[in-house]
Amino acid sequence: MPVLVILAHPNSGSFNHAIADTVVRTLKECGHEVILHDLYREEFDPVLPGSEIPKNAPVAAAVEEHCRQIMACSGMVIVHPNWWGQPPAVLTGWIDRVLRPGMAYEFDEDDSGEGVPRGLLTGKTAVVFNTSNTAEQREKDFFGDPLDLIWKKCVFEFCGIETYLRRTFSVVVTSSPDLRKQWLDEVSSVVVKYFTPHRK
């Protein structure tokens, strides 16, 4: 079972790309098959059309491929900057389009859509790496860090994923090369810890 790596940053020289490169390399060193999606590079269209909302609706070929992969993977590593307390739109829309009913979650037969769904991605591992230009304490005290609620509660628990870690690196804009190297070492350690064959 492969591991998915989902990257959402427009600039190929960004620290997000350095994180994703480290993730991919470390996963391969651990013997994993890796599928990398650089959503900007593949020009993923994040706008969910109305026609794709119904449960068994036909979806675009690119979306269908993502759906198949999310169901078949052992886990995923998601890399993105914190923009306005949210992922960049290209990734928000990846959630909107790829995490479909009947694939990522399911309502009971007699439920009209207002009930508590059953997650279908159980047993998978999810790791999120974020970058930010806001100091950690200010993010918690002033902004309330909505990204943690979004990934942990609204996305992963909703879909049945319990093994979850999120790590935010900040402040990136003023960070030294040495600090960035330390951060990439930490990325590598986290990946080894969460995706060793022993944990499966």
Per rule CB under 8 A, is residue 48 in the interface with a second copy?
A: yes
133 versus 196: smaller Cβ distance to a second copy: 133
Per rule CB under 8 A, is residue 103 in the interface with a second copy?
A: no
Site for a second copy in 154-183 (CB under 8 A): 154-155, 158, 171, 173-174
Which of 15, 40, 129, 194: binder of a second copy (CB under 8 A)?
40
Per rule CB under 8 A, is residue 46 in the interface with a second copy?
A: yes
DSSP string, the chain: --EEEEE--S-TTSHHHHHHHHHHHHHHHTT--EEEEETTTTT------GGG-STT----HHHHHHHHHHHH-SEEEEEEE-BTTB--HHHHHHHHHHS-BTTTEE--TT--SSSPPEES-TT-EEEEEEEESS-HHHIIIII--HHHIIIIIIIIITTT--EEEEEEEE--TT--HHHHHHHHHHHHHHHHHHH-GGG-
Per rule CB under 8 A, is residue 153 in the interface with a second copy?
A: yes
Per rule CB under 8 A, is residue 31 in the interface with a second copy?
A: no
Closest contact distance (angstroms) between CB of 2 and a second copy is: 24
Per rule CB under 8 A, is residue 142 in the interface with a second copy?
A: yes
Residues that bind a second copy (CB under 8 A): 10-11, 40, 46-50, 53, 83-90, 92-93, 95-96, 99, 112-114, 116, 133-135, 138, 142-147, 149-150, 153-155, 158, 171, 173-174
